[in-house]
Amino acid sequence: MKEVVSSCILPQSHRTSSLRTIANMLDNGGVCGIPTDTVYALAASCKHPEAINRIYSIKERPSEKPICICISNLDQLRVINPPFSPLLWNFMDLVYPGGISCIVQKGEWLKKLGVGPAYETVGTNDSIMIRVPDHTVTAHLTDMTGPLAITSANPSGESDSTHHDMVITRLSDKLDAVLCDGYSNELVGSTVVNCTKINEGIIKILREGCVPTTKIMQLFERAKNTPGFCRSTIIDVLEPNDMYWSPAGRSQETGTTWNDLTISIMRWKVETEETTAEVNTFQDYSPNQTQEASTGLIGKCHKILLHSPPGSRMGRPK
């Protein structure tokens, strides 16, 4: 541990005991400087909205600028099953963990995630920005603490902190601790992507950071063109005569029939723009039905969905 500067302690990130120290401090309402996969950040626990308000004072950050949340991995979201569309899940699978921040619609799912006490303090009235850093130290720390509210560790309007010494020099007199990890991985912060209209096929780059816009758009095209992993029972919409394949067999080119599959055909009615849906069983394919027979049934449907157990993968034959 480094020499103490004022009342701010300076543990080294390579020690497990240091992470426990920082985690305990955050759990008790402290504000700490921490490393991320981009630049250094100020962090406060979502259990303590008053600590998040301290961040605004420490940075002299304008109150109208929202603060994002940081989690360790996407599995934390999957467990609570927020009402994200398959396209949004696909996109997040491609960009997380990494130096990208996705803005999504707020909802009650945030309270299940552990953001409850800080629900009104983080994000805006209707949206929240999520960070999943590609950084071992940050991931371990957030595993210990639960969701953190974070923002760059610099006085508002000044350059980002790319070494713990910069955080110490500029802010240590206002912080409880700085987790020292040397130089940051990047010279700038994350790229911020507004995904609130992703279901309309639209994303917007609000700030280009360490990940260039061209890369983001390439990933978005991949997300649109690659079927994702099933997050609930519903995986994708099929139009009449569309055909899908499942890992229970092989692709059409390899001669697979659907004899070994049991796939439910669903009729789907969209109720709201938030993808709430009313789903009714329409027809089950039994294992002894061939691909040709199945095609006939599909052709009779107005719109259908395939569903499979969570974790299985389905996609269009190439």
Query: Coil, strand or helix: which one is 151?
Result: strand
Among 196, 225, 254, the domain boundary falls at 225
Q: Are residues 52 and 195 in the same domain?
A: yes
Q: Are residues 137 and 40 in the same domain?
A: yes
Among 199, 225, 251, the domain boundary falls at 225
In a domain, 73, yes or no: yes
Q: Are residues 187 and 264 in the same domain?
A: no
Query: Looking at the 3D structure of the chain, how many domains does it have?
Result: 2
In a domain, 43, yes or no: yes
State how far Cα 13 lies from the chain centre: 24
- Looking at residue 71, which CATH number applies to its domain? 3.90.870.10
In a domain, 313, yes or no: no
Q: What is the pLDDT of residue 10?
A: 97
* pLDDT grade for 226, boundaries at 50, 70 and 90: confident
Q: What is the mean pLDDT of the chain?
A: 78
Q: Are residues 31 and 166 in the same domain?
A: yes
Domain hosting 218: range is 16-225
Percent of the chain exceeding pLDDT 90 equals: 68
Distance CA 19, CA 12 (A): 8
Among 170, 196, 225, the domain boundary falls at 225
154: buried, middle or exposed (CB in 10 Å: 19+, 13-18, 0-12)? buried
254: buried, middle or exposed (CB in 10 Å: 19+, 13-18, 0-12)? exposed
Q: Is the per-residue pLDDT at 36 higher than 70?
A: yes
Which residue did the predictor score with more confidence, 79 or 2? 79
Q: What is the pLDDT of residue 281?
A: 34
Q: Are residues 62 and 179 in the same domain?
A: yes
**Residues 210-220, mean pLDDT to the nearest whole number:** 96
In a domain, 128, yes or no: yes
**Residues 112-127, mean pLDDT to the nearest whole number:** 96
Distance CA 38, CA 161 (A): 10
